[in-house]
Chains A and B, each alone.
Chain A
Amino acid sequence: MKSNRTSDGTERAGESGRTAVISGQDDKRGALRAMKTAFPKTIPVMTGYIFLGITYGMLMATSGFPGWLPALTALIIYTGSMEFLMVSILLSSFNPLSAFATAVMVGARHLFYGISMLGKYRNMGWKKFYLIYTTSDETFSVNYSADIPDYVDRSWFYFWVSLLDQMYWVAGSAAGGFFGSLITINLDGLDFVMTAMFAVIFLQQWMQDGTKLRSLFRDHICELTGIAGSVLCLVIFGPDHFMIPSMIVILAVLLIFRKPMEKAGYTLEHDTSASDHSENAEISGEGLSNNGNGGDDI
């Protein structure tokens, strides 16, 4: 059935009542189709979030907080690491300024995610606010790396990944908060599924950027920069404090070596004055590629 949507996802002014009805049906079908595509990609996140959420809920409950509090904080804060810190913050003396500063520091990585998603989240209509609000490490990973088929509405795909991930986290936290005392299974290690997910995404990138040994450095300069920067900061700052320094080091290296990297084949392909569609593609990262390998989106 022919869609009645414009390229930016907004509804065209109705030509007739029938067209509007068909359009509404198309939109529902599009949303359903996007959910079917999105759900399988969130399964690793589901496993990790539910069990990690239960751990968080149990921690809150055993610290003396009401059972509903983990669910509420999971819904409105929705930053796992910050929520675990909330337990000690709420148990200490009242200091909103310190709590705010902690939230900004812990959430600093979202600035980098935001920069990466600027193009992809353009023209998302009413969904955009929610997509930005629910950006998490895992949702970002899935949404950025997803290979969305042409017949699937991108905005609905992003929406479902974001919604499902948030629901997993809230459900796990609520279960831990309300029923944590009844759970006697040892959940240690189950959150490793998310580490596995990041490792798989990394391997996909690695394979896509090239597998030849002789061009190892040229093809994988970005990945190698990431590994070197992370290891260096891990050694210097230790496992609890290396995240932000690593991000700064990696970004600094990328800026300093921008020209040599572009000479090596990593360039911006399109001009910014391109047409609407290609501009979106370029901004979303699709127009940027390693010339030696063609398109590089996963």
Chain B
Amino acid sequence: MSIIQMFITIAVVVLGTVLTRFLPYMVFTEGREIPMTVKYLGKFWRLLYSVFWSFIA
């Protein structure tokens, strides 16, 4: 892999990770009300993530 190809690869990986990070905020912009189901999932997700990560980490 050449240096240019290496940087293109890094760039697309950055794009992929940034997309996953920003997508929820792009869908639910500040002016838009967050649906109750999404709030519900967001709420309970916080109760679950530490269980989950205790397994993974």
A residues whose Cβ falls under 8 Å from a Cβ of B: 72-73, 76-79, 82, 86, 89-94, 96-97, 99-104, 106-119, 121-123, 128, 132-133, 135, 137, 140-141, 144-145, 191, 194-195, 198-199, 201-202, 205, 209, 222-223, 225-227, 229-231, 234, 243, 246-247, 250-251, 254-255, 258, 266, 268, 272, 282-283, 285, 288
User: B residues within 8 A CB of A112?
Assistant: 45, 49
Instruction: Give the 10 A-B residue pairs with the shortest CB-CB distance, closest first.
Output: A103-B16, A114-B24, A226-B51, A107-B20, A226-B48, A222-B47, A202-B50, A195-B57, A110-B20, A198-B53
Q: What's the dominant secondary structure at chain A's contact region? A: helix
Would A77 and B14 count as touching, CB distance under 8 A?
A: yes
Would A119 and B34 count as touching, CB distance under 8 A?
A: yes
Would B17 and A107 count as touching, CB distance under 8 A?
A: yes
| Other 15 A-B pairs with CB < 8 A, given A94-B2, A107-B16, A202-B50 | A89-B9, A90-B10, A94-B5, A100-B16, A103-B16, A103-B20, A110-B21, A114-B23, A115-B45, A116-B42, A116-B43, A118-B24, A121-B25, A205-B47, A282-B39
User: B residues within 8 A CB of A94?
Assistant: 1-2, 5, 8-9
Provide the bound-state CA to CA distance between A191 and B57, in Å: 8
Q: How many residues of B contact A (CB 8 A)?
A: 47
28 cross-chain CB contacts under 8 A: A77-B13, A90-B9, A93-B1, A101-B16, A102-B13, A109-B20, A110-B20, A112-B45, A116-B42, A116-B43, A132-B25, A133-B18, A141-B49, A145-B50, A194-B57, A199-B54, A223-B47, A226-B49, A226-B52, A227-B51, A229-B52, A230-B55, A243-B56, A247-B52, A251-B41, A254-B44, A282-B39, A285-B46
